[in-house]
Amino acid sequence: MTMPAISAKAPGKTILFGEHAVVYGYPAIAVPIHAVHVKTIVQPAVETGLSMICFRNKGAEENVPLNELGSSHPIHAVVAQLRELIGQDLPPFILTITSTIPITAGLGSSAAVAVAAASGLSQFAGKKLTDTEINRIAYQSEIIQHGTPSGIDNSVIAFEKPIYFIKGKPLQTLTINKNIHLVLADSGERTLTKDVVSQVRKSREVDPEKFETIFSAIGQICRGAKAALECGDLAALGKFMTENHLHLQEIGVSSKKLDRLVNAAIGHGAYGAKLCGGGKGGFMVAICEEENQESIADQLRTFSPQVIETMVTKEG
């Protein structure tokens, strides 16, 4: 009897409040973004007996034998940890990874790949893991990818729920009281998150007081935003987002293009907007009323290479 193919999926994410400060122990809020996702399909490698990874992206396909990926590859880390958790080798497999999440753009592409790979491969090996176990595996994979990740990306993606996250503390999922309409727009620029995080670390060493003041203000914003999310106060959320963006500008992680997107979104009726993720490029996120969403998105499309209209529902 041939084993059926197994598929798994993981969403993208956006950080609504608190990126960078979260690395230093301050709270942050992130939500899953279902408009983009990673899908994995796992099939047994019956004919060759050789485990293969097949990366599919926009019509292009790359097939790499698992043993050629190298031990520093994030997928290698996922497989190695699964092996340890299960206590045995996985049967030979073909893992196909397809993603609609833009890479290095602040939308959690690497964490989603790790989550969808861990979920698919564990089911293939006959062991269904809990979200907590998948989250742990994805975090190890993120360490390889990003160096010193806070863990917020893998957490929001593994649990697929809005989260209030403090590094090293038990995860809190958030109950939101109103559907939230978001517009995300690409600056078209790219900088690796680990490079931006390292730049912030160096600047913080030069002026620790300035950075503590800013991070602590971002922490306050997060606490206020948590309450606003829970009671569905969109206008307050927007105000907090724009304030958060100003602080991200102060620590030097915005860019002219991100600022232009933020200003345009607000100028066309969004409650507020900010860059999201590591910054120095990647996406901006704006919060708005449902009836404004399309017109804001259309305006941003005139100069952004990719605009995503999405909604975070009460269910996540």
Chain residues that interact with ligand PMV, rule: CB under 6 A: 15, 19-20, 22-23, 106, 108, 149-150, 152-153, 193, 197, 277-278
Contacts of 246 (CB under 8 A, 6+ apart): none
C-alpha dist (Å) from residue 207 to 19, 42, 213? 19, 49, 10
Q: How far is the CB of 242 from ligand PMV (least distance, A)?
A: 18
Q: How far is the CB of 210 from ligand PMV (least distance, A)?
A: 18
Q: By the 8 A CB rule, do 24 and 38 touch?
A: no
For ligand PMV, which is the closer residue by CB, 80 or 192? 192
For ligand PMV, which is the closer residue by CB, 19 or 186? 19
Closest to 110 in 3D by CA, of 69, 79, 154, 66: 154
Plot region of 106 (φ>0 → left; ψ -120 to 50 → alpha; else → beta): left
By CB neighbour count within 10 A (0-12 exposed, 13-18 middle, 19+ buried), where does 128 fall? exposed
For ligand PMV, which is the closer residue by CB, 23 or 90? 23
Q: How far is the CB of 273 from ligand PMV (least distance, A)?
A: 17
For ligand PMV, which is the closer residue by CB, 43 or 154? 154
- Please state whether beta strands 52-57 and 93-99 pair in parallel, antiparallel, or not at all (unpaired): parallel
Whether residue 153 lies in the annotated active site = yes
Q: How far is the CB of 113 from ligand PMV (least distance, A)?
A: 12
d(CA 83, CA 60): 30
Catalytic-labelled residue, pool 153, 195, 259, 298: 153
Q: How far is the CB of 253 from ligand PMV (least distance, A)?
A: 8
d(CA 204, CA 103): 27
Q: How far is the CB of 267 from ligand PMV (least distance, A)?
A: 25
Give catalytic residue positions. 153
